[in-house]
């Protein structure tokens, strides 16, 4: 029955997101599969935390959309998430959910909090940071960057990352409480904040150094896409295999590890 409930709920959310153009067709299919597994193999904690990330991130993506329209042309991914982006954001969490179903452990739970805090923090930082009236600076060296350029950070974006991380920590604790998991509030909150910030800043560091970037031959901007200003872009820097989705996966793993380490400190004390 849990699998059926998960499939129905996931299909309803995915259909609504598809109609609102927040998900592409492949993204909607991936979301249905993922949501079904999250609820069927897990419980409200796993499914609800995923939903908390998705709903808040979708709302922020739509906030100030007109001002972000030009910036989105530089991103490898737009506000309409495809299957690759859905799995990059929620795939690790899905694996952790399945691992917990096979062998229940607080390790999987804390890793999950860190992973979801990371993707939430990164999305919030991008969506709100791009609206900052102050020019972003490179996380490596501090030089001024063009708005939307990978590796750029702002105080607004960093504050948004912290807020998103705290939301996942607090929301995850509440959902765990409702699911009968008997959680402690402070470890969840600290794990969410630490995991989210570590993951989000790791994403920025990788974006400023190792992620593949291209140079627009028309406007000269460093972008993530192979086509900009109607012209093919040329390779600029980074590892060609290290795409935006790969960066998301790596930073999520680092954020999960940081969250687990933070929760472990509470256990030791």
pLDDT tens-digit readout, 3-17: 888 888 889 988 888
HSE, CB side, 13 Å, CA atoms: give it for residue 88. Answer: 21
Q: How far apart are CA 163 and CA 122, in angstroms?
A: 11
Q: Is the pLDDT of residue 75 over 60?
A: no
> What pLDDT is recorded for position 151?
83
Q: How far apart are CA 34 and CA 86, in angstroms?
A: 9
> What pLDDT is recorded for position 135?
85
> What residues contact residue 146 under an 8 Å CB cut-off, 6+ apart?
136, 152, 221, 222
Q: Please report which helix (H) or strand (E) contains residue 190, including its range.
A: helix 185-209
Q: Is the pLDDT of residue 262 over 70?
A: yes
96's tokens: 């952790």
Q: Is the pLDDT of residue 177 over 70?
A: yes
89-143 pLDDT per residue, tens: 889 999 999 999 999 999 999 999 999 999 999 999 988 988 888 888 889 888 8
196's tokens: 């989210």
Helix, strand, coil fractions of the chain, as percent rounded to 5: 65, 10, 25
> Which 8-state DSSP code applies to residue 229?
T
Nearest 5°: the CA angle 130, 133, 137 is 65
> What residues contact residue 228 under an 8 Å CB cut-off, 6+ apart?
73, 74, 214, 216, 218, 219, 221
> Which 8-state DSSP code applies to residue 197?
H
> What pLDDT is recorded for position 149?
73
> What pLDDT is recorded for position 253?
95
130-176 pLDDT per residue, tens: 888 888 888 988 888 777 677 889 999 999 999 999 999 999 999 99
> Which 8-state DSSP code applies to residue 20?
T
Please, are residues 172 and 49 in contact by the beta-carbon 8 Å criterion? yes
> What pLDDT is recorded for position 72?
54
Show the domain range for 110: 2-268
Among the ranges 17-21, 63-67, 161-165, which has the highest mean pLDDT value? 161-165
Number of domains in the chain: 1
Give Cα 59 to chain centroid, integer Å: 14
3-state secondary structure of 203: helix
Please, are residues 204 and 139 in contact by the beta-carbon 8 Å criterion? yes
218-260 pLDDT per residue, tens: 887 878 777 888 788 898 888 989 988 889 999 999 999 999 9
Give Cα 242 to chain centroid, integer Å: 17
pTM recorded for the entire structure: 0.89
- For the segment 63-87, the average pLDDT, to the nearest whole number, is 66
């Amino acid at each position: 029955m849990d699998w059926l409930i998960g499939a129905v709920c996931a299909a309803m959310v995915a259909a609504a997101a598809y109609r609102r153009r927040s998900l592409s067709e492949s993204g909607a299919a991936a979301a249905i599969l993922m949501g079904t597994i999250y609820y069927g193999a897990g419980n409200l904690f796993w499914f609800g935390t995923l939903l908390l990330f998705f709903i808040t991130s979708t709302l922020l993506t739509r906030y100030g959309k007109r001002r972000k329209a030009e910036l989105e042309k530089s991103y490898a991914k737009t506000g309409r998430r495809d299957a690759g982006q859905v799995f990059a954001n929620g795939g690790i969490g899905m694996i952790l959910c399945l691992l917990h179903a096979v062998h229940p452990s607080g390790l999987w739970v804390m890793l999950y909090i860190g992973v979801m805090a990371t993707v939430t923090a990164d999305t919030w930082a991008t969506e709100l940071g791009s609206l900052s009236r102050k020019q972003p600076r490179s996380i490596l060296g501090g030089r001024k960057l063009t708005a939307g350029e990978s590796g750029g950070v702002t105080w607004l974006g960093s504050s948004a990352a912290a807020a998103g991380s705290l939301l996942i920590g607090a929301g995850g604790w509440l959902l765990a409480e409702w699911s009968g998991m008997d959680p402690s509030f402070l470890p969840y909150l600290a794990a969410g904040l630490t995991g989210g910030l570590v993951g989000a800043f790791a994403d920025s560091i990788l974006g400023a150094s190792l992620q593949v970037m291209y140079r627009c031959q028309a406007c000269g901007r460093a972008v993530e896409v192979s086509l900009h200003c109607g012209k093919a872009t040329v390779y600029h820097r980074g590892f060609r295999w290290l795409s935006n989705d790969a960066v998301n996966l790596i930073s999520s793993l680092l954020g999960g590890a940081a969250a687990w380490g933070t929760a472990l400190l509470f256990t030791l004390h």
